[in-house]
Structure 1
Amino acid sequence: MTTAPQPPRTPPAPQPPHPQQPQPQPARRAPSLTGHLAPVPDEIDGTRLAVTGTLPPELTGRYLRNGPNPRPGEDVPHWFTGPGMLHGVRLRDGRAEWYRNRWVRTRALEGVPYLDPAGRPDRSAVSANTHVIGHADKVFALVENGFPYEVTPDLETVGPCDFGGRLTTSMTAHPKTDPATGELLFFGYGAVPPYLTYHRLSAAGDLVESRQVEVPGGTMTHDFAITGTYAVWLDLPVVVDLALLGRGMPYRWDDGYGARIGLMRRDDPHAAVRWFPVDPCYVFHVGNAHEDAAGRVVLDAVRYTPEVFNHFWGGIGGFVPGGFVPGGFGAAPGSTVLHRWTLDPVAGTVTGEQLDDRDVEFPTHDDERTGLPSRFRYAAARDAVVKYDLERGTSAGYACGEGNAPGEAVFVPAPDAGRDEDAGWLLSIVSDRAGAGSDLLVLDAHDMSRVATVHLPRRVPAGFHGSWVPDAD
């Protein structure tokens, strides 16, 4: 089959800073926006995409993925701060019908500053560049410092959403859907009190609960976990430092803050958080959590040591001790490894263990088992998609080839009732590190064999998170 790209759409023009907004300190361009991280200059539509292999007809829906993409001529000081661009692939009846990409047209893209002259945030003036999810018949582009942005299934921007005025904080880019209730659980955090707020959205999309979580200060709280009983908090030592405003992102490592994991009962709005101190570390992404037969909470996540975090953070434009680090992305000493903590609310103890020595990120699982015991995890390694069998303590991978970088692997369950946990497919955008091109890879999650490759009409920059939105939704 042939690819028929449509004419590119003109990118929205960068806007000058607000005349009343204090100008930030000079900042350099993020050092890593080259090769497979380099932005693309425009929006295109491609149809009748070429496919190698056979697409399962059960894959009828849209694969959507989000990530930062500065416009032509627009410098950004940190990889995480570019305006959000959505990439979508439409699959139906064994065909790849289209690919398209669109900037999320937020108020920030129109030139509205995040902070007004009094320092108050405009939570609709954000990048919306981190995740894209479906909930209650809507699709949202997410970033953790502001409101979600509703978009259409065809990636056109509808606008910011504050759930009828009830959401007064930011919304994390990593909400969790409770598979038993269909509720969407999430949180917001900020640089000033309240530093952390828990929220619960009904299955119908109504914000029905918000409660403050007491923490000593503002930190980069990127992710959390849930179980049937608890919300699981990560209070870790990457702290807000407002002196860094205008220099990338205002966060840095703080040895004095400490590190701890908290358990908060979901069924008691007045329950205090039970905190468990852990060795200093950082976590961007959680794999899953569950309660075992003894009532202990088992949490899996990708763990960064202080040294590994600082090397990574400096390599993408963040502030580290001694100043900014030129380059270094993807070459951190040591590794970012899958780690497990077991927290015992009765004994008040916590233990930790490293589950593997492979350098991975973007851990995923079957979302129908969020907060429940689950056997399998999936993750992206440097040049492979990895599957962990946590019951057997083994791992297997699909090698994408030297020079190819896989993104997050989204698990799509097979439609069979009573299916095995790994019955389904993994979808991941794989990009050539030299910037030559990208494909949508479809793997059989059971045996990690390649089912199909959808050849995309353009390179897709390395980004962050995505979702499968089936037609039934």
Structure 2
Amino acid sequence: MDNEKKNASGAKASKTPMYAHGNYAPMHNTCPPTPCRYTGDIPEEFNGGQYVRNGGNPSMNHENGRDVHWFDGDGMLSGVFFRKGKGKAVQPEFVNNYVLTDILLASRASPKLRKPILPSITTLINPRSSMFKIVYAICRAILLVIWSYLNGSKWSIKKISVANTSIIYHSGRALATCENGPPMRVTLPELDTVGWFNGLMAEGEPEDSISPSLTGFGGPGLMGFLKKWTTGHPKVDPISRELIVYHSTFVQPFVHYSVVPDSRSQEASLEQSEPLFNLPVPGVKSAKMMHDFGVSRQHTIIIDLPLSLDPLNLAYNKPVIEYDFYGRTRFGVFPRRKPDQVRWFETEPCCILHTVNSWDDVITDKGTTVNLLACRMTSAAIVFSTGNIRPPPNLRNVEDECRLYYFQFDLSQAENIISHQWALSVIPFELPHVPQHLTMSATQYIYGCTMSKGKFSTALGGAAKIDCLAKLDVKALISKGLRSPPRSVTGSVDSRSAQEILASNDPDDPIKIFQTPPGWYLQECCFVPRTNGVSEDDGWLLTFVFDESQLDEDGFAPVGSKSELWMIDAKTMRMITRIYLPQRVPYGLHGWWFSEDDVCNQRAVETCRSG
């Protein structure tokens, strides 16, 4: 077999990193809304709604030898719209589209470019990257940004986000996100790109009556540019409809914070109708990689990890992104609209890329306990392995693991001590999901990805393959843990492996696992509730699925490979419907379910981007 054989994306077979290989490889074909075959029944709750998932999909330069990371790449949205027909009839339609960011449009306008404009995350985290290589990559990106203003191109690079992380809905807007820029508005169901959202309005929208005293995210100058960098995981309060975000930067005070009301809401209180923009969060001492945070009805939780993201590291001959095995993880808890009242709680070093849910419990007249569920990793190994880099030696000699953890912060106490911190289960758990209408409250069930074998921090040269969805009764598991607390930090309420849970026939088991057939792998799931459901889990899970038997003998996905969208009954954890898509959907990141009301009640758009 010719070792220079190429797959459908154009990548050569030899030395291709696993996170650019198989169904991780990018898909360049974009598809307008296209009818799909399906087997099974589509519940009427899906009519007029749309499921959309975001993910990095590099649009150029897949040559071997260059650095590549799973988190690199231009944002591509893949979705299934459930178009209403006559009566109860429904027709699922697949659609995918690139998010037309400044970076992507400038790249398309510069056909002579041999490499992406932005440096790969792999370049920034690799201990073997020379200072010259890193400085060259950063300076090259800066020069290309400047050149985009000078070369007469229609699209100058004003924002460097690739909008490849997630997608949410707030106040009549679907917003694609990434933490090195503001959100980008897109349309439903076509997934066309409208423009950058600044917290007040999006480019491409009709001019609105906005107070001239409000500037939205960021402001003038370099500091204003950095303060537009908005978390890839904004939170939307399902009751107040507020959008809560933070902005992590390289310059003191390192973290800013914004709360954006739903300007369409008729039920918001006077306080909830007032926006807060760019408030500093005191107490962060250096630039950090912050990917997610927690938000309850009353409080916000900022997570300060021992994971630096600081260009000044280069002055000390260290990678821009570095994990400190002897550092501390800190949780900054404060009232939603008062970041100046932050209280910092410290614990053992760990890495948290995704939170699951947060909620408040009023326990005394003196205060409240704030609760957090998060996917806790014992190191940042996954950040390196997804860039095909051997993780640094684990200096604490702790096994790499990623588990669902419960944290409790008692604000009624004078001392900032974490009351409880332990795992709910020992199974690997990531890419979590809580039904959107139940977030910020003490839900009974949460969902997420796990594996029958293996772990998320895979060995060098491998890639995580997710063959299971887990459903956890966190209410039962937390109650059990509070009655008989496991060892702090290292303990777990449930010590069974995924295989042991799969073998269980207990109908009241607090953990249930859906497993795909051999060779089939799935992605993050999303919950769609049944109308007038009688229990929290009365609804369905959606997930994109791929059969890897379609791969060729070199492990590449040939042209013509196809994915499916599966519907799984969340009560029984059994598949009920398969939707056959016209093309492959690469393994990606985070998605959102948009209801028929969301789709029908989008804000007006004057222009969309093209190029």
- The two structures share one fold, judged by TM-score above 0.5: yes
Equivalent residue for 2:6? none
Q: Assess if the C-alpha contact under 8 Å between 2:199 and 2:217 holds in 1.
A: yes
Q: Assess if the C-alpha contact under 8 Å between 1:83 and 1:104 holds in 2.
A: yes
Secondary structure of the 2:275 match is strand
Q: Assess if the C-alpha contact under 8 Å between 1:199 and 1:207 holds in 2.
A: no
Residue 531 of structure 2 corresponds to residue 415 of structure 1:
yes
Q: Deviations over 1:399-429 (max 9, x none)?
A: 112222211111112222x742112211111
Equivalent residue for 1:329? none
Structure 1 residues 119 and 189: alpha-carbon distance in aligned structure 2, compared to 1, 3 A threshold: farther
Q: Assess if the C-alpha contact under 8 Å between 1:296 and 1:344 holds in 2.
A: yes
Distance, in Å, in 2 between the alignment partners of 1:30 and 1:150 is: 32
Amino acid at match of 2:410: D
Residue 106 of structure 2 corresponds to residue 33 of structure 1:
no
Residue 421 of structure 2 corresponds to residue 352 of structure 1:
yes
Equivalent residue for 2:149? none
Equivalent residue for 2:521? 405
Offset at 1:72? 4.7
Offset at 1:333? 6.2
Which structure 2 residues correspond to residues 257-272 of structure 1 after superposition, within 5 A?
A: 257-268=327-338, 270-271=340-341
Distance, in Å, in 2 between the alignment partners of 1:129 and 1:98 is: 22
Secondary structure of the 2:288 match is coil
Amino acid at match of 2:592: S
Secondary structure of the 2:241 match is coil
Offset at 1:453? 1.2
Distance, in Å, in 1 between the alignment partners of 2:280 and 2:409 is: 23
Secondary structure of the 1:264 match is strand
Distance, in Å, in 2 between the alignment partners of 1:274 and 1:427 is: 38
Equivalent residue for 2:38? 51
Residue 406 of structure 2 corresponds to residue 340 of structure 1:
yes
Offset at 1:46? 5.7
Distance, in Å, in 2 between the alignment partners of 1:428 and 1:298 is: 28
The percentage of counterpart residues that share the same residue type is: 29
Residue 225 of structure 2 corresponds to residue 225 of structure 1:
no
Q: Assess if the C-alpha contact under 8 Å between 2:53 and 2:592 holds in 1.
A: yes
Q: Assess if the C-alpha contact under 8 Å between 2:248 and 2:290 holds in 1.
A: yes
Structure 1 residues 118 and 91: alpha-carbon distance in aligned structure 2, compared to 1, 3 A threshold: closer
Structure 1 residues 438 and 250: alpha-carbon distance in aligned structure 2, compared to 1, 3 A threshold: farther
Q: Deviations over 1:137-191 (max 9, x none)?
A: 1111110110111111111111222235411121111111112211111111122
Structure 1 residues 133 and 286: alpha-carbon distance in aligned structure 2, compared to 1, 3 A threshold: same
Secondary structure of the 1:218 match is coil
Equivalent residue for 1:234? 303
Task: Find 1:292's aligned residue among 357, 361, 364.
Answer: 361
Residue 510 of structure 2 corresponds to residue 442 of structure 1:
no
Structure 1 residues 63 and 430: alpha-carbon distance in aligned structure 2, compared to 1, 3 A threshold: same
Residue 163 of structure 2 corresponds to residue 175 of structure 1:
no
Distance, in Å, in 1 between the alignment partners of 2:286 and 2:157 is: 21
Offset at 1:44? 2.2
Task: Find 1:427's aligned residue among 503, 517, 542.
Answer: 542
Equivalent residue for 2:58? 70
Q: Deviations over 1:297-343 (max 9, x none)?
A: 2211111102xx22x222222766669xxxxxxxx964311111111
Offset at 1:277? 0.6
Offset at 1:356? 0.7
Q: Deviations over 1:245-290 (max 9, x none)?
A: 9xxx94221235421111111243542x111111110111111011
Offset at 1:79? 1.4
Offset at 1:346? 2.3
Distance, in Å, in 1 between the alignment partners of 2:94 and 2:374 is: 32
Distance, in Å, in 1 between the alignment partners of 2:17 and 2:320 is: 14
Which structure 2 residues correspond to residues 39-118 of structure 1 after superposition, within 5 A?
A: 39-45=26-32, 47-60=34-47, 61-74=49-62, 77-93=68-84, 95-111=90-106, 116=142
Offset at 1:244? 7.9
Offset at 1:369? 2.1
Equivalent residue for 1:126? 161
Q: Assess if the C-alpha contact under 8 Å between 1:241 and 1:250 holds in 2.
A: yes
Distance, in Å, in 1 between the alignment partners of 2:475 and 2:173 is: 36
Task: Find 2:276's aligned residue among 209, 225, 238.
Answer: 209
Offset at 1:197? 1.0
Offset at 1:368? 1.8
Equivalent residues, number: 431
Structure 1 residues 374 and 184: alpha-carbon distance in aligned structure 2, compared to 1, 3 A threshold: same
Equivalent residue for 1:166? 216
- Under a length normalisation based on structure 1, what TM-score does the superposition of the two structures give? 0.84
Distance, in Å, in 1 between the alignment partners of 2:175 and 2:565 is: 22
Task: Find 1:274's aligned residue among 343, 347, 365.
Answer: 343
Equivalent residue for 2:186? 151
Equivalent residue for 1:193? 252
Structure 1 residues 106 and 207: alpha-carbon distance in aligned structure 2, compared to 1, 3 A threshold: farther
Structure 2, unpaired ranges of 5+ = 1-8, 10-14, 108-116, 119-140, 147-155, 201-214, 219-226, 265-272, 451-465, 478-509, 552-556, 599-611
Amino acid at match of 2:164: N
Structure 1 residues 163 and 287: alpha-carbon distance in aligned structure 2, compared to 1, 3 A threshold: closer
Distance, in Å, in 2 between the alignment partners of 1:366 and 1:379 is: 11
- Under a length normalisation based on structure 2, what TM-score does the superposition of the two structures give? 0.66
Q: Assess if the C-alpha contact under 8 Å between 2:281 and 2:340 holds in 1.
A: no
Q: Which has the larger radius of gyration?
A: 2
Structure 1 residues 163 and 314: alpha-carbon distance in aligned structure 2, compared to 1, 3 A threshold: closer
Amino acid at match of 1:456: L
Structure 1 residues 187 and 452: alpha-carbon distance in aligned structure 2, compared to 1, 3 A threshold: same
Amino acid at match of 1:298: N
Secondary structure of the 1:431 match is strand
Secondary structure of the 1:111 match is helix
Task: Find 1:136's aligned residue among 157, 171, 181.
Answer: 171
RMSD of aligned Cα (Å): 2.8
Offset at 1:97? 3.2
Equivalent residue for 1:317? 387
Distance, in Å, in 2 between the alignment partners of 1:446 and 1:425 is: 8
Amino acid at match of 1:452: T
Structure 1, unpaired ranges of 5+ = 1-10, 12-27, 324-331
Q: Assess if the C-alpha contact under 8 Å between 2:171 and 2:241 holds in 1.
A: no
Distance, in Å, in 2 between the alignment partners of 1:108 and 1:44 is: 21
